[in-house]
Structure 1
């Protein structure tokens, strides 16, 4: 049996604030995002007009969007949401791993030519890690993307850019369990939250792109389940 003194020590430890790493950004407050730009709980049998599917065999079933890659499509299933342009944004989505190894929550600009396919930044969520990525200056930068596709060697400077343009954080997520994932972008800072807990941050110039207008829920293979998509801006 634990002694009274031991119980008091335990209580003090529980009440003591966790240490904050030097230089780590504070969590961006959800209070910064007051205007709802879009919401969808997939209560309809088909996706609305703002959605566009690419390489997808996805379906809405039981009020849930079930992301499924198109067979022999050669690309992950993409559920693209086109909105009016924004810079800062909060995306919230409930998701469940039902077979797929990961999902990408992407932020792009429609028809932007400054990076491959207009890719700007994204958060990749898997059961073991969350990756925050500035694609505009990193992996989807036109020159870097072209070299990687042709398997041409990157320069030391390009390799350094790739390293700085992403951050990886370990997590432990269960299959067939719902999680609420939130991505907040404020200026050049992007943060990922799971069930309200800050998982990680990335500060990088491409994140601050001022005219993002497309959000993607990207599902490789089969399947990720999505629900309760909410997009808010300041």
Structure 2
């Protein structure tokens, strides 16, 4: 009985953010994405050739990618997936909080110079909130990023841009429990789903960047567990 009550309570907590989302665009349908561009269930002992690691001590154990930041590396562990260029995309990944406070699911373009390190857009997932960001025109815009790094004060216009290019949605997720997180991008609209339920949406111009070609699973500290990564395009 207690198990049923906990499950019911968890469902209510997951549904709670939907009221914040009232009046927002309807969910981008899953069947819009017909072609599987990439998939990995981490059944091999090493990452495949499409993956590269940055500042990472991550490893595959028991069929799971365990994200771990490199000690004294000065940066979160990044697991970068290089793909053919795409614009609209669906990323699905199972993940579990096993110590890290959050993970970033990022979409970038290799060697793009129009934003810091080619960052375009991302979804930040933590146990308490989901943040959707247009980094290309917002936080990773070259001028804004340079000012933030030097701790220079942003203009009121730049502060307004930062507010417009992100959206925050509260959730309540448990640690050491698996969740399926899905990100869908269609044009300038990006949406985040947990276990198939729409959590939040952001519409912003940088999301529509037409030649994304890298996906990142970004882990600060230790550890996020990842499994069953699937990338689909229309």
User: Which one has a bigger Cα radius of gyration?
Assistant: 1
Which residue is equivalent to 1:122? 122
Match of 2:144 in 1: 144
Q: Which residue of 2 aligns with 1:218?
A: 218
How do 1:168-207 and structure 2 match up within 5 A? 168-207=168-207
RMSD: 1.2
What count of residue pairs does the alignment treat as equivalent?
217
In structure 2, what is the Cα distance between the partners aligned to 1:143 and 1:19? 35
Classify 1:124/1:21 alpha carbon distance in 2 versus 1 (closer, same or farther; 3 Å): closer
Aligned pairs for 1:6-155 within 5 A:
23-155=23-155
Contact 2:93 2:182 in 1 (8 A): yes
Given the superposition, is the C-alpha separation of residues 226 and 82 from structure 1 closer, same or farther in structure 2, using an over 3 Å criterion? same
Paired with 1:162 and 1:20, the residues of 2 have a C-alpha distance of: 20
User: Using the alignment, how far apart are the partners of 2:174 and 2:156 within structure 1?
Assistant: 38
SS of equivalent residue, structure 2 residue 160? helix
State the secondary structure of the residue aligned to 1:172.
coil
How far residue 23 of structure 1 moved from its aligned partner, in angstroms, is 3.8
TM-score norm. by structure 2 comes to: 0.91
1:22, CA displacement in angstroms?
5.9
Which whole-Å CA distance do the structure 2 matches of 1:19 and 1:221 have between them? 32
Structure 1 stretches lacking a partner, 5+ long: 1-17
Aligned equivalents of 2:164, 2:154: Cα separation in 1: 15
Shift of 1:21: 6.2
1:144-169: CA deviations, max 9, x gaps? Answer: 00000001011111000000000000
Q: Per-residue deviation at 1:49?
A: 0.2
> Is contact 2:52–2:79 with CA below 8 Å preserved after alignment?
yes
What is the match of residue 163 of structure 1? 163
Q: Secondary structure at the match of 1:66?
A: strand
Residue 98 of structure 1 and its aligned partner are, at CA, apart by 0.1
